[in-house]
Amino acid sequence: MSLIVQKFGGSSVRNIERIKAVAQRVCNAKDQGHQVVVVVSAMGDMTDDLIKMVHEITPDPTPRELDMLLSTGEQISISLLAIAIQSYGHTAVSLTGWQAGVQTENLHGKAKIKGIDVHRIQKELEADQIVIVAGFQGINEMGDITTLGRGGSDTSAVALAVALQADVCEIFTDVDGVYTADPRILPEARKMSVVSYGEMLEMASSGAVVLQPRAVEFAAQYRMPITVRSSFNDHPGTMVKEVSDMEREMYVSAVTHDCNVTKITVIGVPDRPGVAYTIFEALAKARINVDMIVQSTKAETVTDLLFTISSDDTRQAVHIIEGLIDELGAQGLHCDDSVAKVSVIGAGMVTNPGVAALMFKALSSAGINIQVISTSEIRISCLIDRARVQDAVRAIHSAFKLDQDPSELPPSPVDLL
Amino acid sequence: MSLIVQKFGGSSVRNIERIKAVAQRVCNAKDQGHQVVVVVSAMGDMTDDLIKMVHEITPDPTPRELDMLLSTGEQISISLLAIAIQSYGHTAVSLTGWQAGVQTENLHGKAKIKGIDVHRIQKELEADQIVIVAGFQGINEMGDITTLGRGGSDTSAVALAVALQADVCEIFTDVDGVYTADPRILPEARKMSVVSYGEMLEMASSGAVVLQPRAVEFAAQYRMPITVRSSFNDHPGTMVKEVSDMEREMYVSAVTHDCNVTKITVIGVPDRPGVAYTIFEALAKARINVDMIVQSTKAETVTDLLFTISSDDTRQAVHIIEGLIDELGAQGLHCDDSVAKVSVIGAGMVTNPGVAALMFKALSSAGINIQVISTSEIRISCLIDRARVQDAVRAIHSAFKLDQDPSELPPSPVDLL
């Protein structure tokens, strides 16, 4: 008998019909003899509807009260799912975040999970119950309800799987698994059967929104295998786990793209120590993540500082930097929303030289200009014109032969050059 | 500085506009220098909407999961109200039933409050917060969310007022206060400035739905004064409290009516011991309250047993009694939905003979036949034709001169006969 944690996102429970379908799927897992813990998000548009009500009152609600409000979304889902499962003749019990023992730090809106007291869940499992837990939420030391931020239900599911020492954590979503590229823009993209934690993390941080990065980090830390699969069919999904070289399909696994990127250039900055620090410290204090950074010396004493941020943060970042222009002695600020980032990701690239060269060749052959480059051990990213994203993904995907059956290892990138 | 508990029902918070109006009213009380604890129900149709979703799954949800679901209604109200109050510049904190320390027995759907641990509320009051508590809900020993049943928010408010030793509990509703008769059917009905607990309790049990009977019982037990007033205007309401004879306005306070009554007659029951017991035990086990009871002997050995119940219970009661007809050796069952109950209520009637006679005279003069009579120390009720309810209320109201200014005590009922 295995212990399985299954997580269903908002689109999987967006109406009563879908909740019944999820209930059926959960009952099937139980019928196969497993112990089942289910983590559920709020129904489809529920969270947005609640936020709409708040905005009729004020644009700026306090985070504590917003968490109190939004956490009702999952509470509605868990009780309806429990009722549906019970109507199919199984025993089930729903638990809110605090009832499930999910303890978080005291930061409303994006709290991190500090620990899970699994006593209640274990008691219910021993009583042969299907246990349904509200994702996305927990409780802080003061006994106040907190939320984990967008997509936090993935993290809830993985954290529960780890705390309960589950055999696997299944993340059900509206796609069949993890693809070599976004199948919405590249139909020939291939579903991967397996991907490593590191690759999944780079993908999640590079525009592939299948799994929350924090959930992947957590799973990697505790070696908890995750299966990503569709809640709409029975296709086998993608397994995210520790992958040995023997299991590795390709030295490059996938191409990702991210159009939610803004390029900011601080023009004519005096080339002296402390300038970059002043800017990035101010952004960090506002919790704005800076991604790619380039400093190019124009003349002897003046430089341009260029970096990218999430487009969601553009307004705030511009406001902050405009306040620093005088202090820095800079000449001005330029903000460009017409860019996108494409990345190749693959744990095998460390030991296979030529990956970067093959990527640049593919983009060059397609006539696409590279504005900025950044790399990690298992990722290479290029900033390009947003209008050329689809062409870029197709060119790179094709150059690395990612659409081919991985059963025979592809030639090395050097041979493909 | 007083401590005030204010309770707002579903119609008082039925949309964002109303929530803002309630927030303004709460802020006014705070500005007057009071400590304020607010108890809120779910927004208008929220509870019905949630139940509608459940009924798309099953007609028969488990009570535990239904409580988990329905309790989100108040959680939404309290957070929105807190956000509205904060947007007016006051500090406020919302608390669910369990956060507010409301402990109940382990009976889902209609749990009774066992006690309230007021530590958290007191801490927040000391920090100068307006405290907003979810009505209608609590937590049982197992840490599961319970609800108190329809109208339970009144009970939450009174129980909190008692536990916090508040100076007064203000119940805001959609009427101006407690009237000498239902102003919807008798426009000349007069708003009472004061009414005793006992009278209020008899009124609540006799068709005047201004306050939940359980809330009144609780207030009476702990001598907590309640003010019933409108959330839509600033008129002074009605004070429900311990009333001395000096303060008493009239020996009869009000006329109530209840059209939600069904008369059931078990025909031709053998007149032997145990018959009534068999019937009423079966009804009690199904939690059906029996109100008026008459047993009339027709012949020497056969009797008719007549009683009234709430019309909500008719179907279930008929089903139960039909199953007993054979065992009882009865001839049949008759069920009459065309009846109503009118009552006069007044703590002063004990010491003023002639009240019953005056009531019967008023009905008789209006040509209204009395089918059944029942009495308590401070109430006389008559079962009449439902079509004549308005006439009956008017005739009785007028006979007792309830529309007159109570500043000069009316003549005794004997003089009015």
Contacts for A274 with CB less than 8 Å, ≥ 6 apart: none
* Angle in degrees, CA B196, B26, B193, rounded to 5: 25
State the Cα–Cα distance between residues B64 and B66, nearest whole angstrom: 5
What's phi and psi for B378, nearest 5 deg? -125, 25
pLDDT mean over A344-349: 86
A162 versus A376: which is more confidently predicted? A162
Q: Do B86 and A62 make contact, defined as CB atoms within 8 angstroms?
A: yes
Nearest Cβ partner of A62 from B83, B144, B145? Answer: B83
pLDDT score of A146 more than 80: yes
- Residues B112 and B156: their CA atoms lie apart, in Å, by 10
Selecting from B62, B82, B94 the residue whose C-beta is nearest the C-beta of A83 gives: B62
What token pair was written down for A44?
Answer: 């489809």
Mutate to test the interface with A, among B17, B49, B72, B137 (most CBs of A within 10 A): B72
Condensed to tens digits (0 to 9), the pLDDT of residues A105-121 reads 998 988 999 999 999 99
> CA-nearest residue of chain B to A19?
B57
Nearest CA in chain A to B83: A61
- What is the pLDDT confidence band of residue A245, given thresholds at 50, 70 and 90? low
Mean pLDDT on B210-214: 87
pLDDT at B408: 61
Exposed e or buried b per residue across A30-46, where buried means at least 16 C-beta atoms within 10 angstroms of its C-beta: beeebbbbbbbbbbbeb
Strand order in the sheet with B226-230: B92-95, B130-134, B35-40, B3-8, B168-173, B226-230, B238-241, B194-196
Query: What is the rounded distance in angstroms from the CA atom of residue B129 to the CA atom of residue A144?
Result: 15
For residue A410, the model assigns a pLDDT of 60
Instruction: Determine whether the interchain pair A69/B54 forms a contact, defined as Cβ–Cβ distance below 8 Å.
Output: no
- Asked if A65 lies within 8 A of B82 by C-beta distance, the reply is yes
Q: What is the pLDDT of residue B274?
A: 79
d(CA A76, CA B68): 8
Mean pLDDT, to the nearest integer, of A184-201? 92
ipTM for the complex shown: 0.83
Are A83 and B71 inside 8 Å of each other by CB?
A: no
Q: Which of A46, A79, A81, A98 best tests the B interface by mutation, with the highest count of B CBs <10 A?
A: A79
- Cβ pair A29, A192 in contact under 8 A: no
- How confident is the model at residue B19, as a pLDDT? 97
CB–CB of B258/B341 below 8 Å?
yes
Output the pLDDT for position B273: 77
Q: What is the mean pLDDT of residues B136-160?
A: 93
| Residue among B53, B79, B143 whose CB faces A99 most closely | B143
Closest Cβ–Cβ partner in B68, B79, B96 for A94: B68
- Grade residue B254 by pLDDT with cuts at 50, 70 and 90: very high
User: B3-174: which CATH number, 3.90.78.10, 3.40.1160.10, 2.40.110.10, 1.10.3720.10?
Assistant: 3.40.1160.10
Interface contact flag, B57 A94, Cβ < 8 Å: no
Element (H, E) at A361: helix A355-365
Residue B410 banded pLDDT, cuts 50, 70, 90: low
pLDDT reading at B371 higher than 80: yes
- Is-contact A340 A384, C-beta < 8 A? yes
pTM for the structure as a whole: 0.85
Average pLDDT, chain A: 91
Over residues A68-108, the pLDDT tens digits come to 999 999 999 999 999 999 999 999 999 999 999 999 999 89
One-letter identity of residue B135: G
Better pLDDT: B120 or B284:
B120
Instruction: Tell me the mean pLDDT in the region B386-406.
Output: 91
- Pair B108, B67: CB distance under 8 Å: yes
Are residues B68 and A50, on separate chains, in Cβ contact within 8 Å?
no
Of A247 and B110, the one with more pLDDT: B110
Instruction: Name the residue of chain B whose CA is nearest to A60's CA.
Output: B87
Q: What's the pLDDT score for residue A75?
A: 98
Amino acid A323 reads G
Least confident of A166-170, B31-35, B207-211: B207-211
The total number of residues shown for chain B amounts to 417
Give the model's pLDDT for residue B210: 84
Please give the average per-residue pLDDT across A307-316, as a whole number: 91
Using 50, 70 and 90 to split pLDDT, how confident is the model at A195?
very high
Q: What is the mean pLDDT of residues B120-129?
A: 97
Instruction: Write out pLDDT tens, residues A383-395.
Output: 999 999 999 999 9
pLDDT at res. B300: 67
Percent of chain B with pLDDT over 70: 95
d(CA A394, CA B36): 63
Enumerate the residues of chain B whose CB falls inside 8 A of the CB of residue A72: 72, 75-76
Q: Which residues does chain A have within 8 Å of residue B62's beta carbon, measured at their own beta carbons?
A: 82-83, 86
C-beta of residue A339 within 8 angstroms of C-beta of residue A372: no
CA–CA distance, B10 with B171 (Å, rounded to integer)? 12
Q: Choosing among B19, B56, B68, B140, which should be mutated to test the A contact, i.e. which has the most A CBs within 10 A?
A: B68
The beta-carbon neighbor of B57 closest among A61, A87, A120 is A87
Please check the confidence at residue B249 and state whether its pLDDT lies above 60: no
* pLDDT greater than 70 at residue A299: no
Q: Is 3.40.190.10 the CATH number for A245-417? A: no
Nearest CB neighbour to A79, from listed B65, B79, B143: B65
Is the sign of the CA dihedral A298, A304, A307, A311 positive or negative? negative
| Degrees, nearest 5: CA angle B250-B253-B254 | 150
Query: Which residue among A53, A58, A76 sits closest to B72, beta carbon to beta carbon?
Result: A76
pLDDT single digits (tens) B83-107: 999 999 999 999 999 999 999 999 8
Domain boundaries, chain B: 3-174, 243-417
The Cβ of residue A329 has, within 10 Å, a number of other Cβ atoms equal to: 12
Q: Which of A140-149, A406-415, B307-316 has the lowest mean pLDDT?
A: A406-415
pLDDT at A295: 78
What are the C-alpha distances in Å from A117 to residues A100, A109, B13, B397?
A: 7, 21, 37, 63
CATH of range B243-417; options 3.30.2130.10, 3.40.50.800, 1.10.10.10, 3.10.450.40: 3.30.2130.10
Give per-residue pLDDT as tens, B218-244.
Answer: 999 999 999 999 999 989 999 999 887
How many residue contacts between A and B have a Cβ separation below 8 Å? 98
> Given an 8 Å threshold on Cβ–Cβ distance, is B93 in contact with A64?
yes
Residues of B in contact with A99 (CB under 8 A): 143-144
Mutation pick from A15, A65, A75, A85 vs chain B, by most beta carbons of B within 10 Å, is: A65
| CA atoms of A91 and A130, how far apart (whole Å) | 6
Look at residue A297 and tell me whether its pLDDT is greater than 70. Answer: no
Q: Using 50, 70 and 90 to split pLDDT, how confident is the model at B276?
A: confident
B231 within 8 A of B309, measured Cβ to Cβ = no
B54 to chain A: closest CA residue: A80
Structure tokens at A312: 């969601």
Q: For residue A249, report the phi and psi dihedrals to the nearest 5 degrees.
A: -80, -45
Q: Find the residue in A nearest to B98 (Cα).
A: A143
How far is it, in rounded angstroms, from Cα A54 to Cα A73?
A: 14
A246-280: pLDDT as tens digits: 556 567 889 999 999 999 999 988 877 788 888 98
Instruction: State how far residue A63 is from chain B, nearest Cα, in angstroms.
Output: 10
Q: Which residue of A has its CA nearest to B68?
A: A79
Of residues B69, B71, B99, nearest to A143 (C-beta): B99
| Amino acid, res. B399 | A
pLDDT for the residue B94: 98
Tokens 């029996």 sit on residue: B290
With tokens 């705390």, the residue in question is A163
**Residue length, chain A?**
417
C-beta neighbour count of B401 within 10 angstroms? 14
Task: Write out the residues of chain A at the interface with chain B, using a CB-CB cutoff of 8 A.
Answer: 16, 19-20, 50, 53-54, 56-58, 61-62, 64-66, 68-69, 71-72, 75-76, 78-80, 82-84, 86-87, 93-94, 96, 99, 120, 143-145
Region B315-340: what's the mean pLDDT? 92
Q: Do B16 and A58 touch (CB under 8 A)?
A: no
Q: What is the pLDDT of residues B337-352, one digit of tens each?
A: 999 999 999 887 877 7
Report pLDDT for B259.
94
Distance from CA of A11 to the nearest CA of B (A): 17
